[in-house]
Amino acid sequence: MRSTFKILFYLKRNASKSDGTVPVMGRITIDGTISQFSCKMNVLPNLWDTKSGRLTGKTALALKTNLALDKIRVDINRHYQEVMQTDGFVTANKVKNVYLGLGVKQDTFLSLFAKHNQDFSRKVGYNRAEGTYSKYCTIYKHMENYIRFEYNREDIFLKELNLAFINGFEHYLRTERECSTNTIWMYMIGVKHIVAIARNSGQLAINPFAGYLISPEVKDRGFLNKDELNLLVGAKMKNAQYELVRDLFVFSCFCGLSYSDVKNLTKDNLKTSFDGHLWIITRRQKTNTDSSIRLLEVPKRIIEKYKGYTRDNRIFPVPSNGSCNNILKKIAKQCGIKTRLTYHVSRHTFGTLLTISQGVPIETVSRMMGHTNIKTT
């Protein structure tokens, strides 16, 4: 059975101040029990409407006071709902204490986010990727700047999170940071994960993402045709760094491996099969699925070319993904390639030009590329 719940504002007329004003009080009534609190504001008694519990008139003072009273009412209503959801029962005193923060630990969003990132950093190199950790650090920085920009505060209480906060963060990313829809979508997945931690630990009763919708935009990254790939292979590079990036890109065009999988490739991943051919046997970092690719002559020559270039067991000295993509854009311009060249285009080129267009069954291509679902292929 739902509790009877009422909020009333009234004047404490027997506590008049020297300027003639009196304190405004709040009264919470639930199932006949009453709990009172100060609203932290004083008004002139002759301006007060007892029936509505508000100031009369349309002066700036009246509007400001009534707006503050409306906010108190909204906050108390929200706290009432939260107490009902978390405890299953509610009293006037409990709602008042939650509203005033008495006897309640006020968990904050950024402190929870920072703890998550700290815990995540300890797992990097074991079962978590450095790139994912960097993504969470970037989201944290954006969130920190948003709270300072929008709320002029250093942090926000978890209980203050709502749909308006989430929509506001998206608007901030889109306008102030000029992020694309796909970047915002990726950031929101991270924020949603932190919110899930708060909800699962009982720190947050409501789901601020309820009613929030965002979908990634499907973008065709394209692929190189035969002439463009031949042009790239035969082009003279301006320096050794450009040549390395070009060779790594061509290697992935013939193997279908992503940037992270090429970076993680070691000599242990090279196996000679019973058929006498050299194969790459590995597991994809992104999906942790098996990937087996027979090496053709071009990738074998590239492996031979960079033997002895690394101090560890890795096959290639791979620059950062950002550096690779920046250099690839310059190489594309040099070669007159119109396709927007990023490292991931090599994987599309493998799947399209080197396999499917050559009659390789899509099921085989899917296994070679380490896809978990053939729809992806």
Is pLDDT at 296 greater than 90 in this prediction? no
Helix orientation angle between 163-175 and 181-200, rounded to the nearest 10 degrees? 150
What tens digit of pLDDT does each residue of 155-183 get? 888 878 999 999 999 999 999 999 999 99
Q: What share of the chain is helix, strand, coil (3-state, %, to 5)?
A: 50, 15, 35
Is pLDDT at 112 greater than 90 in this prediction? yes
Question: What span, in angstroms and rounded, lies between the C-alpha atoms of 175 and 180?
Answer: 10
- Token code pair at residue 29: 């009534």
- Quick count: other Cβ atoms within 10 Å of Cβ 354? 23
> What sign does the CA torsion over 236, 238, 243, 246 have?
negative
CA 238 to centroid of chain Cα atoms = 38
- Quick count: other Cβ atoms within 10 Å of Cβ 63? 12
Q: Which of 136-140, 282-286, 310-314, 369-373 has the highest average model confidence (pLDDT)?
A: 136-140
Could you tell me if 257 and 280 are in contact, meaning their C-beta atoms sit under 8 angstroms apart? Answer: yes
The closest alpha carbon to 90, from 33, 38, 39, 37, belongs to 33
For the chain, the distance separating the N- and C-terminal CA atoms, rounded to the nearest angstrom, is 54
pLDDT at 1: 46
pLDDT at 144: 95
pLDDT at 373: 56
What tens digit of pLDDT does each residue of 16-35 get? 899 999 999 999 999 888 99
Could you tell me if 162 and 77 are in contact, meaning their C-beta atoms sit under 8 angstroms apart? Answer: no
The closest alpha carbon to 158, from 190, 118, 193, 194, belongs to 194
Number of H helices, E strands in the chain: 13, 8
What tens digit of pLDDT does each residue of 256-293 get? 888 888 888 888 888 887 777 888 877 766 566 677 78
Q: Cα angle vertex 353, ends 225, 276, to 5°?
A: 135
What one-character DSSP code corresponds to residue 19? Answer: T
Mean residue pLDDT across the chain: 85
pLDDT at 103: 57
Q: What is the mean pLDDT of residues 308-326?
A: 87
- Predicted TM-score (pTM) of the model is 0.54
What tens digit of pLDDT does each residue of 217-237 get? 766 667 788 888 888 888 899
Is pLDDT at 356 greater than 60 in this prediction? no
What tens digit of pLDDT does each residue of 38-97 get? 998 999 999 999 999 999 988 999 999 999 999 999 999 988 887 777 666 788 888 888
